[in-house]
Amino acid sequence: MKHDPKSPDTSVLPGGPRHVAIIMDGNGRWATQRGRPRLFGHHAGAKRVREVVEACPDFGVEYLTIFAFSTENWKRTQVEVAGLMSLFRRYITKETRSLSEFGVRVRFIGDRVRLDDKLIKMMNDLEQATAHNTRVHLTIALNYGGRDEVARATKRLARDVAEGRLDPDKVDEETLPRYLDTYVLPDPDLVIRTSGEARISNFLLWQSAYAEYEFIDTLWPDFRKDEFGRLCAAYGGRDRRFGAVKT
Ligand code: FPP
């Protein structure tokens, strides 16, 4: 997926979302419907990631954040957890080159402490290898939970107060986001959840306070570029008031 920096994208949607966050749900059901093990669905889901990343410039999406593994997903069977970890390692090995060539900057959010050393090294290497890219900012949430992120941020903030680096009277709405894993990212404009569930499952809790939501029935392995485009276009027609009244 090579990118020629001299050829600008021509099909960008006016007023489309700059940052889209996706809860990629439904891999397990997709596999079960086919009489296959759940991991088969996760592998099919991983293939959809590339298609959606590559579609971002066409719809004016600069930031894409995807929920790959939650702090709650450790409760799944050992076979599924190990299979997902192995899939993440394979994904990084297989996709590093094409992500780089397409101009994707990859970041990971979530608590790395519980992940294995080999995977952590691969994540760090991928972040470094793509650090100069600016075309699409892909953030992969891995061992991520919104409450866990806020708790970790609060711990760091409290430490700064205790050690005299931060005045508690100056803590306001702008302060906490600087301690979140997402501190370099804009807030999501549009959050999409596939598979018919209408809940946010601890994803980007602070950051999505004013996001628009789309809950769609499609199972993640069936999610395609055209549907992504329709959702981005529909977002362009929405009236975001951020709590204010239109004058
Ligand atoms: C939810 O479906 C999906 C996950 C917990 C894993 C998401 C992972 C991928 C799409 C794989 C690849 C990602 C990367 C970044 C390579 P589910 O298992 O909860 O589905 P169900 O609700 O139908 O059981």
Instruction: Kindly state if the Cβ of 64 falls inside 6 Å of ligand 1.
Output: no
- pTM for this prediction: 0.93
From ligand 1's centre to the CA of 179, what distance in Å? 27
The pLDDT assigned to 236 comes to 86
Q: Mean pLDDT in each 10-residue stretch from start to end of the chain (247 residues)?
A: 42 80 98 98 97 97 98 98 98 96 98 97 98 98 98 98 98 97 98 97 98 98 98 85 68
The pLDDT assigned to 244 comes to 74
Angle formed at CA 25 by CA 20 and CA 28, multiple of 5 degrees: 155
Instruction: Kindly state if the Cβ of 27 falls inside 6 Å of ligand 1.
Output: yes
Structural domains for the chain = 19-151+186-236 (3.40.1180.10)
Angle formed at CA 96 by CA 187 and CA 195, multiple of 5 degrees: 50
Catalytic residues: 25, 73
From ligand 1's centre to the CA of 67, what distance in Å? 8
From ligand 1's centre to the CA of 24, what distance in Å? 6
Q: Is 138 left (phi over 0), alpha (psi -120 to 50) or beta?
A: beta
Residue 75 amino acid letter: K
